[in-house]
Amino acid sequence: MAMSFIKTLFASPEVNPSTRKAKSIPILNPFDQYGRVFFFSWVGFMVAFLSWYAFPPLLTVTIKKDLHMTQAEVANSNIIALLATLLVRLVAGPLCDRYGPRLVFVGLLLCGAIPTAMAGLVTNANGLIALRFFVGILGGTFVPCQVWCTGFFDKKIVGTANSLAGGWGNAGGGITYFVMPAIYDSLMQSRGLPSHKAWRVAYIVPFIIICVVAMCMLFLCEDTPTGKWSERHLWAKESSGTATPLDGNIVDLNTGTFSSGMTTPYNPATIDIEKKGAQTPQVMDKDSSAVGQMDNIFKQETVVAPSRKEALNVALSLSTMAVAIPYACSFGSELAINSILGSYYEKNFPHMGQTETGQWAAMFGLLNVVCRPMGGLFGDLVYRATDNVWSKKLLLTFLGLAMGAFQLAIGLSNPTKESAMFGLIAGMAFFLEACNGANFAVVPHVHPFANGIVSGIVGAFGNLGGIIFAIVFRYNGAHYERSMWIIGVISLGANLAVSWIRPVPKTE
């Protein structure tokens, strides 16, 4: 069993012939197209997150002192960074459905890298707030990260794939607490730069990293398992020089009608692949039951560019809200807490300096490496056992309620012992981050033909929750414990409120 599992990490995966999606994740095989896409999905999001949250580690003391910022201005800069990401995620979803997640991913990375490199031009608090708004573009990369993975991995493992990519990417929020202070300290000690120059020069490093990753993604990866995004409806192609002998009929995915006459073996060169929507003719088997089954698979799996009316129906459906609202609580909590955790530790444990509190705060983000994937993995396991999306939904609700309970415990007890504080934060991190992973194990089942729109809405709600919770922290000032229990109450109430909603609409 162990050897079989290890083999899947290296070997090219078995592919579902109906959808061309992988049935396993070749995590350690970047030479395989599925392994390569998975690798750049999480690495791209990780470097984006690293730069997106590169300011809080130095903002606690260094930047705040240099720019003479008040506590309210620091909080405002955190809120503005989340606002930009909310707007970008709303737009990124439909763009992924139209142009493909890879190009959207590359575009967002490059657009967010430019303001990152401009940190050296900041001279006052308002300038930093404006800069962080544009750096917030990088947070939108989460949407193409998840849509890209969904397009390459089968539904039985897509929860694990999405949660691994999202969790390892989210770890950038923890890594930055180590990286940015280390770069800053190195520039001061090794290069002899004064403090006000060192922190500005430090932001050139994430700029370079982002540009390198974006270029690799552009030139080394594919849009879909079948190649170009415009050819995403091509579900069968020649592999290793051997054509798939699919004789039979043509089905129009839009109308579900069939026409006969295709009696020769499948040949990609002889089939007219149309460029628009779900109207692409596809080769089908003559057997009527097989045709009906394949037609259903196509309608479920093929991403199209929905009309405005369809997009609005998807965005406002109860099933979309049933995953968006819990994500607003879980990921929203993560974003808001990430921004203040170092300051919270410094208040309760004043003997710690900026570097040590930053390192302990980093643990909250770094736990994403394990905790978020656990949520997706558990989601996939219960789905395989029950073959019912409700099982994933119930897991999501349980994790959300447990997260709220830990937030209440932290806020009401306000630990002043390091062991108690770090233990409760770790417990909260497990359920919070596992909830994030379980959420995007459910998302691929909700309106799969508009996966980009659903992912964008859910991702944007995560940032909306982050803004709401950041405002809670902003108006409670240094009373971090009060903000924590308020967020806990909101999380408990919101998860209970949507627990009854069907994860998949009856019409689907």
Segment 260-270, tens digit of pLDDT: 333 333 333 33
133 in Cβ contact with 81 (< 8 Å): yes
- Kindly list the distances between the CA atom of residue 4 and the CA atoms of 9, 206, 218, 413, in Å, as whole numbers in the listed order: 9, 38, 33, 46
The DSSP string of 347-367 is HH-TTS-HHHHHHHHHHHHHT
Cα separation, 416 vs 334, whole angstroms = 22
Cα separation, 508 vs 500, whole angstroms = 18
Q: Is 314 helix (H, G, I), strand (E, B) or coil?
A: helix
- φ and ψ at residue 248, rounded to 5 degrees: 150, -140
6 in Cβ contact with 24 (< 8 Å): no
Q: What is the pLDDT of residue 238?
A: 41
170 in Cβ contact with 433 (< 8 Å): yes
- Pick out the chain residues at pLDDT < 70: 1-3, 5, 233-306, 354, 507-508
Q: What is the pLDDT of residue 251?
A: 38
Domains and CATH numbers, the chain: 13-228+310-497 (1.20.1250.20), 247-284 (no CATH)
125 in Cβ contact with 67 (< 8 Å): yes
For the chain, the straight-line distance linking the first and the last C-alpha, in angstroms and rounded, comes to 36
444 in Cβ contact with 451 (< 8 Å): yes
Radius of gyration of the chain (CA): 23
> Tens of pLDDT along 474-487?
889 889 999 999 99
Strands in 248-252's sheet, in edge-to-edge order, are 258-262, 248-252, 281-284
Residue with tokens 């989460």: 142
- Kindly list the distances between the CA atom of residue 458 and the CA atoms of 48, 114, 126, 442, 448, in Å, as whole numbers in the listed order: 19, 26, 30, 11, 14
- Kindly list the distances between the CA atom of residue 43 and the CA atoms of 66, 141, 170, 206, 244, in Å, as whole numbers in the listed order: 32, 11, 10, 13, 34
